[in-house]
Amino acid sequence: MKAVAVFPKSRELRVIEDAPEPRLRSPTEVKVRTLEVGVCGTDKEILDFRHGAPPEGEDFLIIGHEALGEVVEVGERVQGLRPGELVVPRVRRPCPHEHCPACRHGYPDFCITGDYTERGILKAHGFCARYFVEDVAYLHRVPASLREVAVLTEPLTIAEKALREVAHLQERLPWEQRPGRAVVLGAGPVGLLGAMVLLRAGYGTTVYSRAPRPNEKAEVAEALGAPYLSSEQVSVEELRRRAGPVDVVYEAAGASKAAFEVLRGLGPNGVFVFTGVPGRKQPLELEGAALLKQLVLFNQVLVGTVNAADMDFDAALEDLGRFQARWPGGLERLITARRPPEEFEEAASRKGGGIKHVITFQ
């Protein structure tokens, strides 16, 4: 079967035409025909050989972790799924260690050992192949009405988990919290989907990104009802003046310098959520004393979040339906191009610009 894989030893990306087709090995597994695979910054890091690893004993890794597929075969003990239905898979698999409470309780996104695996990223083949096989426990059924946008499920789960964590953190305040003001740092797919989640939750949301207007991302943000401000045109001080005291910053840029600049605009009792992993080295100077003073005097919280849990995928699929109703065509605008597997590298480098590039299997 056709698959897209990286070979770390030779540092190359190949489209394999004769990769072994996976087969059911247990009664709870499901065979899925891949329809679409989203391409993101993590894939670019894997292609640059700065991240990722093949399965044990193999010299290549089939990449792709944001997937939508169609069930073609189910094991005899699979319930709730049948051939022809659409599914999205989760990414991370738990570590094997009994002393890891996170993995043993079904939350490998909080794994304490680091010995987890991730499909298409770390020691487990991904979904950018004609077929993949997965245990039914890691699959989520997708309504047919979401066929054109369900490939956005996995990046949306990042925001779903982040907002869930913010809600828990705000419980520390001894009064009922109402949604206030939020700033989304970055206007890529994760940032714009995060803006949708925050707007759905009732936050007055501003998108703060580097590129000056006019640009496609600004148009999408403002069509949602989120003002778009460029960091090249608007300082952090001006951002705070326009947005007001910021209760939540949702960082989705992966730029450490920009993140710590925006941190200065966080308001009293605010929560700053880091989701991006810096992809490039940047010199960073911090006024440590001033930063610590700010965090202490204003009771602020910084939290990092990675991956997502079962419930976040369910929430993402529900929200995709809500977003379709609230912003007709808004989700579709995030998908810039659908490309064949042979163009994975071009998609990862986002040649030609755009927001989200997707690989399709015909």
- Domain chopping of the chain, boundaries: 3-142+335-360, 156-304
Per-residue pLDDT at 280: 61
Residues 359, 339 contacting (CB under 8 angstroms) = yes
Q: State the Cα–Cα distance between residues 274 and 253, nearest whole angstrom.
A: 9
Residues 239, 270 contacting (CB under 8 angstroms) = no
Strand partners of residue 181? 204
Strand partners of residue 141? 87
Helix, strand, coil distribution of the chain in percent, nearest 5: 35, 25, 40
Per DSSP, helices labelled H in the chain are 41-47, 101-104, 153-170, 189-200, 216-224, 236-243, 256-263, 288-297, 310-326, 330-334, 344-349
Tell me whether residue 236 is exposed, middle or buried, using C-beta atoms within 10 angstroms of its C-beta: 0 to 12, 13 to 18, 19 or more: middle
pLDDT digits (tens, 9 = 90+) for 275-331: 988 766 667 777 889 999 999 999 999 999 999 999 999 999 999 999 999 999 999
Looking at residue 342, what DSSP letter applies? G
DSSP for 142-175 reads: E-GGGTTTGGGHHHHHHHHHHHHHHHHHHTTSSS
Q: State the Cα–Cα distance between residues 151 and 290, nearest whole angstrom.
A: 42
Is residue 214 reached through a cis peptide bond, with omega within 30 degrees of 0 on the bond before it?
A: yes
More confident residue, 353 or 249: 249
The confidence band for 176, taking pLDDT boundaries of 50, 70 and 90, is: confident
Side chain identity at residue 246, one-letter code: V
Mean confidence (pLDDT) of the chain: 95
Strand partners of residue 132? 32
Q: What are the tokens at 243?
A: 């947005």
The confidence band for 157, taking pLDDT boundaries of 50, 70 and 90, is: very high
pLDDT digits (tens, 9 = 90+) for 25-75: 999 999 999 999 999 999 999 999 999 999 999 999 999 999 999 999 999
pLDDT digits (tens, 9 = 90+) for 189-231: 999 999 999 999 999 999 999 999 999 999 999 999 999 999 9
| Fold of the domain built from segment(s) 3-142+335-360 | Quinone Oxidoreductase; Chain A, domain 1 (3.90.180)
| Fold of the domain built from segment(s) 156-304 | Rossmann fold (3.40.50)
How many Cβ atoms sit within 10 Å of the Cβ of residue 114? 8
Greatest alpha-carbon pair distance for the chain in Å reads: 62
